[in-house]
Homo-oligomer: A and B are copies of this chain.
Amino acid sequence: MFFASDNSGPVHPRVMERVAQANQGFAGAYGADPVMEGVRQQIRDLFEAPDAAVYLVATGTAANSLVLATLGQPWQTIFCSPVAHIHEDECNAPEFFTGGAKLTLVGTGDKITPEALRNSIAAQQARGVHGPQRGPVSLTQVTELGQVYSVAELAALSAVAREFDLPVHMDGARFANALVTLDCTPAEMTWKAGIDAVSFGATKNGCMGVEAVIFFDPAHAWEFELRRKRGAHLFSKYRYLAAQMAGYLEDDLWLNSARAANARAERLADGLRRAGAQFLLDPQANMVFAALPRVTHEKLFAAGAAYHLWGAVLDGEDPQEMLGARFVCDWSITEGEIDRFLDLI
């Protein structure tokens, strides 16, 4: 009954297998190994982007920060949601890697609207050299609140960015979960919708610690490589990153794992709905935000369930007060676990 985060689940056995297979003799360091050669090509094929620059790093924060530093400048401001991971959960890593860029929070929710984006960008104009300059737009897909931008929404946001000649980054820590929800191709969800660079997450969906960075314009390649090395994110034994990614992409493992995670979240949501939970947001991928009575939370925690309250605290008076919570399903959680959890409610 572990719903605390998809960053705490196990590695998929087939990913582990590929890592073990890669463990043969010597191999070129720093990405010059045959496994990485294959992965690079595979990602280009998957994204229908034969010229894309493709790199691996080990954390999502590294992927996001290095991409934003490459796309932007220290005197710019990055446009993102107020609940964006890059704003709330990376201890100023984007500020660090960019050399002091600012983050402008667009709107009030997890999903940015084209109107809010245009307003935010337009507002950042009148001060010439005195104000922060306009910089990259960063969109999180799946959002931090479990919502999925449609392809049309992404295209509309990118179009706004294009009006101002700004690049667009996608924080795809849960890229696969979004993709299976939308049932579209990686290209449709990215460059065809105007995205310039992607943090293509794999860690949360069954890997140990690997994220691909994809620039559709390879002009960014060399700068990114220097930034990555300077950021201490270039692995010598790179093949073990590559092998994870190879296993992840093989035979649609990444998509099947995401489908499993999303299906579990749906099963959980259905059960919660039947049990009278109030939904803070409509679950669209592998995260459920729902409120339950305090007394129910107490019972669940007592039984060993793991998840986070959301904007609420447990210790209060009224046992029937509805308290919000976040439930995340990773690929590995079983239907049996979910049913056991629901039975408790």
Listed in ascending order, the chain A residues whose CB lies under 8 Å from chain B are: 2, 4-5, 7-11, 13, 16, 19-20, 23-30, 57-62, 65-66, 73-77, 88-93, 95-103, 127, 129-133, 203-204, 208-209, 225-227, 229-237, 240-241, 306, 332
CB–CB B237/A90 < 8 A: no
CB–CB A226/B100 < 8 A: no
CB–CB A237/B29 < 8 A: no
Cβ-neighbour of A10 out of B26, B89, B133, B204 (below 8 A): B26
Contacts of A13 on B, CB cut-off 8 Å? 23
Return the chain B residue nearest A87 by Cβ: B102
Cβ-neighbour of A209 out of B26, B127, B240 (below 8 A): B240
Contacts of A233 on B, CB cut-off 8 Å? 59, 62, 232-233
CB–CB A8/B28 < 8 A: yes
Return the chain B residue nearest A1 by Cβ: B26
Contacts of A130 on B, CB cut-off 8 Å? 88-91, 229
Bound-complex Cα distance A232 to B103 (A)? 17
CB–CB A91/B226 < 8 A: yes
CB–CB A100/B91 < 8 A: no
Contacts of A57 on B, CB cut-off 8 Å? 232
CB–CB B95/A237 < 8 A: no
CB–CB B65/A232 < 8 A: yes
Bound-complex Cα distance A240 to B12 (A)? 13
> Contacts A91-B226, A130-B90: A209 and B232 contacting too (C-beta < 8 A)?
no
Contacts of A65 on B, CB cut-off 8 Å? 232
Shortest CB distance A232–B (Å): 4
Cβ-neighbour of A230 out of B30, B96, B209, B235 (below 8 A): B96
Shortest CB distance A10–B (Å): 5
Bound-complex Cα distance A203 to B332 (A)? 29
CB–CB A74/B59 < 8 A: no
CB–CB A102/B103 < 8 A: yes
Contacts of A230 on B, CB cut-off 8 Å? 74-75, 90-93, 96, 100
Bound-complex Cα distance A198 to B5 (A)? 32
Bound-complex Cα distance A326 to B89 (A)? 39
> Contacts A23-B10, A102-B95: A59 and B232 contacting too (C-beta < 8 A)?
yes
Return the chain B residue nearest A95 by Cβ: B100
> Contacts A96-B99, A226-B75, A231-B96: A26 and B8 contacting too (C-beta < 8 A)?
yes
